[in-house]
Amino acid sequence: MSAETDPVKVMKQEVGKAAAERVQSGTIVGLGTGSTTAYAIQYIGDRIKKGDLKDIKGIPTSFQAEVLAKEHGIPLTSLDAVDHIDVAIDGADEVDPQKNLIKGGGAAHTREKVVDSLAAQFIVVVDSGKLVDRLGSTFKLPVEVIPMAYVPVMRALEKLGGKPELRMGVKKAGPVVTDQGNMVIDVTFDSIDNPGELEKTINNIPGVLENGLFVGVANVVLVGEVKDGKPLVREM
Protein backbone atom coordinates (compact mmCIF):
# COMPACT_ATOMS: atom_id res chain seq x y z
CA MET A 1 0.00 0.00 0.00
CA SER A 2 1.46 3.35 -1.01
CA ALA A 3 1.70 6.26 1.41
CA GLU A 4 -0.88 8.18 -0.66
CA THR A 5 -3.50 5.46 -0.21
CA ASP A 6 -2.66 4.64 3.40
CA PRO A 7 -6.00 5.41 5.12
CA VAL A 8 -4.32 6.36 8.40
CA LYS A 9 -2.08 8.92 6.69
CA VAL A 10 -5.00 10.26 4.64
CA MET A 11 -7.07 10.51 7.84
CA LYS A 12 -4.35 12.58 9.55
CA GLN A 13 -4.19 14.81 6.49
CA GLU A 14 -7.96 15.32 6.57
CA VAL A 15 -7.95 16.25 10.28
CA GLY A 16 -5.15 18.74 9.67
CA LYS A 17 -7.02 20.16 6.69
CA ALA A 18 -10.26 20.48 8.69
CA ALA A 19 -8.41 22.53 11.33
CA ALA A 20 -6.64 24.67 8.72
CA GLU A 21 -9.98 25.49 7.10
CA ARG A 22 -11.10 27.14 10.35
CA VAL A 23 -8.32 29.71 10.16
CA GLN A 24 -9.50 33.12 8.91
CA SER A 25 -7.64 35.95 7.22
CA GLY A 26 -6.16 38.64 9.43
CA THR A 27 -5.53 36.33 12.39
CA ILE A 28 -2.63 35.28 14.58
CA VAL A 29 -2.31 31.49 14.67
CA GLY A 30 -0.54 29.28 17.20
CA LEU A 31 1.23 26.50 15.30
CA GLY A 32 1.52 23.28 17.26
CA THR A 33 3.87 20.33 17.12
CA GLY A 34 3.45 16.76 15.88
CA SER A 35 2.57 14.73 12.79
CA THR A 36 -1.12 15.68 12.48
CA THR A 37 -0.48 19.36 13.23
CA ALA A 38 2.22 19.31 10.54
CA TYR A 39 -0.52 18.71 7.96
CA ALA A 40 -2.49 21.67 9.35
CA ILE A 41 0.60 23.87 8.91
CA GLN A 42 1.00 22.56 5.36
CA TYR A 43 -2.63 23.33 4.47
CA ILE A 44 -2.47 26.82 6.02
CA GLY A 45 0.53 27.42 3.78
CA ASP A 46 -1.40 26.10 0.77
CA ARG A 47 -4.29 28.49 1.51
CA ILE A 48 -1.86 31.42 1.74
CA LYS A 49 -0.28 30.47 -1.62
CA LYS A 50 -3.74 30.28 -3.26
CA GLY A 51 -4.64 33.72 -1.89
CA ASP A 52 -7.44 32.16 0.15
CA LEU A 53 -5.78 33.38 3.37
CA LYS A 54 -4.23 36.82 3.80
CA ASP A 55 -2.48 38.71 6.59
CA ILE A 56 -1.72 35.59 8.66
CA LYS A 57 0.95 35.49 11.33
CA GLY A 58 2.05 32.27 12.99
CA ILE A 59 3.54 31.67 16.42
CA PRO A 60 5.37 28.31 16.52
CA THR A 61 5.41 26.12 19.63
CA SER A 62 8.66 24.37 18.75
CA PHE A 63 11.67 24.43 16.47
CA GLN A 64 9.94 21.77 14.37
CA ALA A 65 6.85 23.98 13.92
CA GLU A 66 9.06 26.96 13.07
CA VAL A 67 10.90 25.03 10.34
CA LEU A 68 7.64 23.73 8.85
CA ALA A 69 6.01 27.16 8.89
CA LYS A 70 8.96 28.70 7.03
CA GLU A 71 8.93 25.80 4.57
CA HIS A 72 5.25 26.43 3.78
CA GLY A 73 5.49 30.19 3.58
CA ILE A 74 3.71 31.17 6.79
CA PRO A 75 4.98 34.53 8.15
CA LEU A 76 6.07 34.20 11.78
CA THR A 77 5.89 36.51 14.77
CA SER A 78 6.56 36.16 18.51
CA LEU A 79 4.67 36.57 21.77
CA ASP A 80 6.45 39.81 22.59
CA ALA A 81 5.27 41.34 19.31
CA VAL A 82 1.53 40.58 19.64
CA ASP A 83 -1.12 41.16 22.29
CA HIS A 84 -3.33 38.16 21.48
CA ILE A 85 -3.59 34.83 19.62
CA ASP A 86 -6.82 34.20 17.71
CA VAL A 87 -6.58 30.44 17.26
CA ALA A 88 -4.09 27.69 18.06
CA ILE A 89 -3.95 24.26 16.40
CA ASP A 90 -2.14 21.46 18.19
CA GLY A 91 -2.19 17.72 18.73
CA ALA A 92 -2.48 15.66 21.91
CA ASP A 93 -1.32 12.29 23.21
CA GLU A 94 -4.51 11.68 25.19
CA VAL A 95 -7.95 13.37 25.30
CA ASP A 96 -10.54 12.59 27.99
CA PRO A 97 -14.34 13.14 27.71
CA GLN A 98 -13.99 16.61 29.34
CA LYS A 99 -11.47 17.64 26.61
CA ASN A 100 -8.61 17.59 29.11
CA LEU A 101 -5.33 16.52 27.54
CA ILE A 102 -1.96 14.94 28.09
CA LYS A 103 0.63 16.44 25.76
CA GLY A 104 4.41 16.28 25.55
CA GLY A 105 5.25 13.28 23.40
CA GLY A 106 7.38 15.64 21.36
CA ALA A 107 8.89 17.31 24.47
CA ALA A 108 7.37 20.66 23.42
CA HIS A 109 4.56 20.87 25.99
CA THR A 110 5.87 23.94 27.84
CA ARG A 111 5.83 26.20 24.81
CA GLU A 112 2.63 24.52 23.62
CA LYS A 113 0.87 25.29 26.90
CA VAL A 114 1.92 28.96 26.77
CA VAL A 115 0.65 29.42 23.20
CA ASP A 116 -2.44 27.19 23.42
CA SER A 117 -3.59 28.78 26.68
CA LEU A 118 -3.30 32.31 25.25
CA ALA A 119 -5.41 31.48 22.18
CA ALA A 120 -9.02 32.68 22.04
CA GLN A 121 -9.80 29.28 20.47
CA PHE A 122 -7.67 26.17 20.88
CA ILE A 123 -8.36 23.43 18.31
CA VAL A 124 -7.00 19.96 19.09
CA VAL A 125 -6.35 17.56 16.21
CA VAL A 126 -6.10 13.85 17.03
CA ASP A 127 -6.91 10.39 15.75
CA SER A 128 -9.50 8.31 17.60
CA GLY A 129 -6.76 6.22 19.23
CA LYS A 130 -5.93 9.21 21.43
CA LEU A 131 -9.37 9.23 23.09
CA VAL A 132 -9.37 7.77 26.63
CA ASP A 133 -11.88 7.53 29.48
CA ARG A 134 -9.25 8.71 31.97
CA LEU A 135 -5.95 10.54 31.47
CA GLY A 136 -2.83 8.48 32.05
CA SER A 137 -4.48 5.31 30.73
CA THR A 138 -2.18 4.85 27.75
CA PHE A 139 0.42 7.62 27.93
CA LYS A 140 2.95 8.64 30.53
CA LEU A 141 2.78 12.19 31.89
CA PRO A 142 5.74 14.31 30.68
CA VAL A 143 7.30 16.74 33.16
CA GLU A 144 9.89 19.28 32.00
CA VAL A 145 12.55 19.87 34.65
CA ILE A 146 15.73 21.94 34.87
CA PRO A 147 18.78 19.62 34.70
CA MET A 148 20.17 20.31 38.19
CA ALA A 149 16.87 19.29 39.82
CA TYR A 150 15.89 16.12 37.99
CA VAL A 151 16.84 13.71 40.83
CA PRO A 152 14.95 15.51 43.65
CA VAL A 153 12.01 16.07 41.29
CA MET A 154 11.90 12.33 40.53
CA ARG A 155 11.80 11.63 44.29
CA ALA A 156 8.95 14.11 44.72
CA LEU A 157 7.02 12.51 41.87
CA GLU A 158 7.45 9.10 43.51
CA LYS A 159 5.91 10.52 46.71
CA LEU A 160 2.89 11.54 44.61
CA GLY A 161 2.46 7.90 43.58
CA GLY A 162 4.17 8.15 40.22
CA LYS A 163 6.80 5.97 38.59
CA PRO A 164 9.21 8.47 36.97
CA GLU A 165 11.85 7.80 34.35
CA LEU A 166 14.18 10.18 32.56
CA ARG A 167 13.37 10.32 28.85
CA MET A 168 16.37 9.19 26.83
CA GLY A 169 17.17 10.26 23.28
CA VAL A 170 16.72 8.08 20.22
CA LYS A 171 19.81 7.94 18.00
CA LYS A 172 21.43 10.16 20.61
CA ALA A 173 23.56 9.32 23.62
CA GLY A 174 21.98 10.68 26.79
CA PRO A 175 18.65 12.27 27.68
CA VAL A 176 16.21 14.21 25.52
CA VAL A 177 16.87 17.96 25.74
CA THR A 178 13.95 20.36 25.18
CA ASP A 179 14.03 23.59 23.15
CA GLN A 180 14.56 25.33 26.51
CA GLY A 181 17.61 23.19 27.30
CA ASN A 182 15.84 21.13 29.98
CA MET A 183 15.12 17.44 30.57
CA VAL A 184 11.87 15.49 30.45
CA ILE A 185 10.72 13.02 33.08
CA ASP A 186 7.95 10.64 31.95
CA VAL A 187 5.73 9.59 34.86
CA THR A 188 3.39 6.60 35.02
CA PHE A 189 0.42 7.02 37.35
CA ASP A 190 -1.93 4.14 38.15
CA SER A 191 -4.79 6.64 38.08
CA ILE A 192 -5.13 10.39 37.52
CA ASP A 193 -8.38 11.07 39.37
CA ASN A 194 -8.12 14.87 39.48
CA PRO A 195 -6.05 16.21 36.55
CA GLY A 196 -6.46 19.85 37.58
CA GLU A 197 -5.10 19.27 41.09
CA LEU A 198 -2.25 17.08 39.87
CA GLU A 199 -1.25 19.69 37.27
CA LYS A 200 -0.91 22.35 40.00
CA THR A 201 0.78 20.04 42.50
CA ILE A 202 3.48 18.93 40.05
CA ASN A 203 4.12 22.49 38.86
CA ASN A 204 4.71 23.52 42.49
CA ILE A 205 7.66 21.11 42.83
CA PRO A 206 10.84 23.24 42.79
CA GLY A 207 12.75 22.61 39.58
CA VAL A 208 9.69 21.74 37.49
CA LEU A 209 9.10 24.09 34.57
CA GLU A 210 5.82 22.61 33.29
CA ASN A 211 3.95 19.31 32.94
CA GLY A 212 1.86 17.83 30.15
CA LEU A 213 -1.58 18.07 31.75
CA PHE A 214 -3.72 20.58 29.82
CA VAL A 215 -6.88 21.06 31.89
CA GLY A 216 -9.69 23.30 30.67
CA VAL A 217 -7.65 24.63 27.74
CA ALA A 218 -9.12 22.90 24.67
CA ASN A 219 -12.20 24.41 23.01
CA VAL A 220 -12.64 22.13 20.00
CA VAL A 221 -11.40 18.57 19.43
CA LEU A 222 -11.34 17.32 15.84
CA VAL A 223 -11.11 13.53 15.76
CA GLY A 224 -10.00 11.54 12.75
CA GLU A 225 -10.93 7.90 12.32
CA VAL A 226 -10.94 5.26 9.63
CA LYS A 227 -14.26 3.49 9.05
CA ASP A 228 -14.67 0.85 6.35
CA GLY A 229 -11.31 1.92 4.98
CA LYS A 230 -12.41 5.55 4.61
CA PRO A 231 -11.03 8.51 6.58
CA LEU A 232 -13.61 10.54 8.53
CA VAL A 233 -13.34 13.66 10.71
CA ARG A 234 -15.78 14.47 13.50
CA GLU A 235 -15.94 17.15 16.15
CA MET A 236 -15.96 15.89 19.73
Q: What's the pLDDT score for residue 74?
A: 98
pLDDT tens digits, 48-67: 999 999 999 999 999 999 99
CB atoms within 10 A of CB 131: 18
Look at strands 119-127 and 85-90 and give their pairing.
Answer: parallel
Q: What's the pLDDT score for residue 1?
A: 42
Q: What's the pLDDT score for residue 5?
A: 72
What is the rounded average pLDDT of the residues 24-50? 96
Residue 165 is among the residues annotated as catalytic for this protein: no
pLDDT over 90 at 175, yes or no: yes
Say if residues 195 and 117 touch (Cβ distance below 8 Å). no
What is the rounded average pLDDT of the residues 182-201? 96
pLDDT over 60 at 201, yes or no: yes
Q: What's the pLDDT score for residue 6?
A: 83
DSSP alpha helix (H) spans, 21-104? 35-50, 63-71
Q: What's the pLDDT score for residue 4?
A: 58
pLDDT tens digits, 72-84: 999 999 999 999 9
- The average confidence (pLDDT) of the chain is 95
**Can you tell me the distance from the alpha carbon of 64 to that of 43, in angstroms, rounded to the nearest whole number?**
16
Q: What's the pLDDT score for residue 18?
A: 97
What is the rounded average pLDDT of the residues 161-186? 95
Residues 6+ apart with CB under 8 A from 9: 3
Q: What is the DSSP track for 98-161? A: TS-EE--TTS-HHHHHHHHHHEEEEEEEEEGGGB-SSTTSSSPEEEEE-GGGHHHHHHHHHHTT
pLDDT over 60 at 188, yes or no: yes
Q: Which residue has the higher pLDDT, 163 or 190?
A: 163
pLDDT tens digits, 108-124: 999 999 999 999 999 99
**Can you tell me the distance from the alpha carbon of 221 to that of 19, in angstroms, rounded to the nearest whole number?**
9
Q: Which of 112, 144, 210, 225 is catalytic?
A: 112
What is the rounded average pLDDT of the residues 185-200? 96
Q: What is the DSSP track for 20-32? A: HTT--TT-EEEE-
